[in-house]
Amino acid sequence: MSVGVDVDVVIVGAGAAGIAAAIELHKKSVPFVVLEARNRIGGRVCTDRETFSPYPVDLGASWIHLYGPKNPMYSFYQQLKHTKLVDLYNDNDDEDEDESKRLINIDYDGRPISDDLEHQSKTICAQLFAYMEKFASSNGQQQDQSIESVMKLEYERLVGSQREIKRLVDNYFADIEVYEASDFNNLSAVQWETVDTSSISDKWVSFGYGTILDDIVKQHKLSIRLNTLVKHIDIRNSDRIVINTALDDYPIVCRRVLITIPLGCLKKETITFEPPLPEWKRNAIAQMGFGVLNKIVLQFSDCFWDPTKRYILRTCNEPRSRFHYVVCLPPPSNILILFVSGNDACALETLTDSETIQLATCFLQRIFPESFVPNVIKYKITRWFKDSLSFGSYSNYAVGTNENTIELLARTTANDRIHWAGEHTNIDDKTDQWTMGCVQSAFQSGQRAALSIQNQLRSCSNTQNNFE
Ligand SMILES: Cc1cc2nc3c(=O)[nH]c(=O)nc-3n(C[C@H](O)[C@H](O)[C@H](O)COP(=O)(O)OP(=O)(O)OC[C@H]3O[C@@H](n4cnc5c(N)ncnc54)[C@H](O)[C@@H]3O)c2cc1C
């Protein structure tokens, strides 16, 4: 057999997980190669710098969640934030600013929401969340159901036919559904956790999250092979793993492989393994939830909303996660980013661009009845569910899954020769900083997997030396 490359480690995927693993292997001088199918690095961290030039817009991740010194992305952000180059929005790094002052909170038709209505609906929500917590803490895995089905009767009892309250309560639900990128009817009730969002600090990366990953790759001088789609991994030989790519050249041979492709790709079996993956791994892949979050980015000739505001939160009159949340980028960019998640996000992916834009502009006209919504001058619509190198946005707890599912997703296969990383494999480290589904989760999982590979390779070479 002719061989193209012979290295110790192949990392499949150059998203946050693959990049983090590459940094660790590079530091320890372990010979490795990163194979990335796209023509760019970053995966689901992707900053579009062309469509709205000079304004960068993130099509994937845009917030550093749990922003703080313990987050591995924090120091990378700190290094970049002062460079003039990235400060196009003149954001003044508004870390201390009160978010509520920058929020437009309105009803589906643009009317303000009365304090009384808000208070009533918050009280009902608190009761519903307490009900869910009770369920979660008193039920074992075998009794897991969807949040929707567990909450149904209590929701009907408390909300009844009060239509205005219903809209506001649904609004709080949409907050969670958009964050999880899935609807309540897919999410595990046993995994319910009421999160006090006021204590969580998230940082919007105004210069584009992709800038951070690009900079990391440059800083560490990582060499990454782009446009290289891995198709087949053969582990039948006990010494060598043989990897075939879509490029019609020689296979790549290695001793360890680290798979960091998205859970959506694993579900679709876009890489074939020979022999096939063990059943426990395939079951974990099938069971774990993988949600969809999309963005509809629209640029207007004028800013028809209050230019001092950064977010619009509005109650729903249609599927509750549709455009529930809108990010406003300040003039002169005049850009609005509308979010849609879950089943509705998949449904909207089947529409044409012009149909989607029409839906979005009608929605905007409805919430700004006093203003004239001008024509869209530039736009970008993400379709992460259709993206064949992702098939979705990020993972969550589907009904019947738990930390053990993540542990199985992270567990090595093929006698510890295949390693697994990615946002869906970040094992709960019992800190208040633990996350899954985020960029830092992917990053941490890559670091963990690289360390484990290094230890293995080191102990193999020690054993060999002992025999010499
Ligand atoms: C719309 C959206 C908004 C989000 N918002 C946030 C946010 O604000 N904050 C946050 O922290 N997280 C957010 N996330 C989630 C975050 O982007 C991901 O959790 C994280 O980037 C995943 O990194 P990863 O390395 O696990 O996977 P990826 O970034 O997907 O990297 C995997 C790589 O594998 C490549 N690949 C796939 N198949 C093959 C193959 N066969 N051969 C070779 N290469 C292959 C892919 O092209 C990709 O580059 C968001 C995601 C989306 C989609």
Q: What angle do CA 96, 100, 106 make, to 5 degrees?
A: 160
Q: Is the Cβ atom of 72 under 6 angstroms away from ligand 1?
A: no
Q: Report the nearest atom of ligand 1 relative to the CA of 230.
A: 42
Residue 53 CB coordination number (10 Å): 10
Per-residue confidence at 85, pLDDT binned at 50, 70, 90?
A: low
Q: Is the pLDDT of residue 294 over 90?
A: yes
437 CA from centroid of ligand 1 (Å) = 9
Report which DSSP code applies to 255.
E
Spatial distance between the Cα atoms of 165 and 119, rounded to a whole number of angstroms: 10
Q: Report the nearest atom of ligand 1 relative to the CA of 13.
A: 34
Q: Report the nearest atom of ligand 1 relative to the CA of 271.
A: 41
**Mean predicted confidence (pLDDT) in 277-294:** 98
Out of 205, 394, 426, 447, give the residue to mutate to test ligand 1, the one with the largest number of ligand atoms within 8 Å of its CB.
Answer: 394
**Amino acid identity, residue 217?**
V
**Residue 225 DSSP SS3:** strand
Spatial distance between the Cα atoms of 137 and 159, rounded to a whole number of angstroms: 24
Q: Closest Cα to atom 48, ligand 1: which residue?
A: 43
Beta bridge partners of 300: 376
Spatial distance between the Cα atoms of 429 and 450, rounded to a whole number of angstroms: 17
Q: Is the Cβ atom of 61 under 6 angstroms away from ligand 1?
A: yes
385 CA from centroid of ligand 1 (Å) = 12
Contact 367, 306 (CB under 8 A): no
**Mean predicted confidence (pLDDT) in 25-41:** 97
Q: Report the nearest atom of ligand 1 relative to the CA of 424.
A: 26
Q: Give residue-wise pLDDT tens across range 269-281.
A: 999 999 999 999 9
Q: Within 13 A of 163's CA, how many CA atoms are on the CB side?
A: 3
Phi, psi (5° rounding) for residue 358?
A: -65, -45
Residue 317 CB coordination number (10 Å): 15
Give pLDDT, residue 6. 84
The 10 Å CB-count burial string (b at 16+, else e) for 216-233 is bbeeeebebbeebbbeeb
Beta bridge partners of 22: none
Q: Is the Cβ atom of 381 under 6 angstroms away from ligand 1?
A: no
Q: Is the Cβ atom of 62 under 6 angstroms away from ligand 1?
A: yes
Q: Within 13 A of 438's CA, how many CA atoms are on the CB side?
A: 20
Q: Which residues contact 21 (CB under 8 A, 6 or more apart)?
A: 11, 258, 260, 421, 446, 447, 449, 450, 453
Q: Is the pLDDT of residue 465 over 90?
A: no
| DSSP per-residue letters across 141-203 | GGG--BHHHHHHHHHHHHHTT-HHHHHHHHHHHHHHHHHHTS-TTTBBSTT-----GGG---E
**Mean predicted confidence (pLDDT) in 354-367:** 96
Give pLDDT, residue 195. 80
Q: Is the Cβ atom of 16 under 6 angstroms away from ligand 1?
A: yes
Radius of gyration for the chain, computed over Cα atoms and rounded to the nearest angstrom: 23
114 CA from centroid of ligand 1 (Å) = 40
Spatial distance between the Cα atoms of 468 and 267, rounded to a whole number of angstroms: 44
Spatial distance between the Cα atoms of 268 and 22, rounded to a whole number of angstroms: 26
Residue ranges with strand state E in 307-355: 311-314, 325-329, 335-341
Spatial distance between the Cα atoms of 389 and 259, rounded to a whole number of angstroms: 13
Spatial distance between the Cα atoms of 53 and 299, rounded to a whole number of angstroms: 11
439 CA from centroid of ligand 1 (Å) = 8
Region of residue 111 (phi > 0: left; psi between -120 and 50: alpha; otherwise: beta)? beta
Q: Give residue-wise pLDDT tens across range 298-341.
A: 999 999 999 999 999 888 777 888 998 999 998 899 999 999 99
Spatial distance between the Cα atoms of 230 and 379, rounded to a whole number of angstroms: 32
Spatial distance between the Cα atoms of 324 and 339, rounded to a whole number of angstroms: 7
Token pair recorded at residue 43: 């995966």
Q: Is the pLDDT of residue 468 over 60?
A: no
Give pLDDT, residue 3. 61
Report which DSSP code applies to 112.
B
Q: Closest Cα to atom 12, ligand 1: which residue?
A: 438
Spatial distance between the Cα atoms of 22 and 17, rounded to a whole number of angstroms: 9
419 CA from centroid of ligand 1 (Å) = 18
Q: Is the Cβ atom of 291 under 6 angstroms away from ligand 1?
A: no
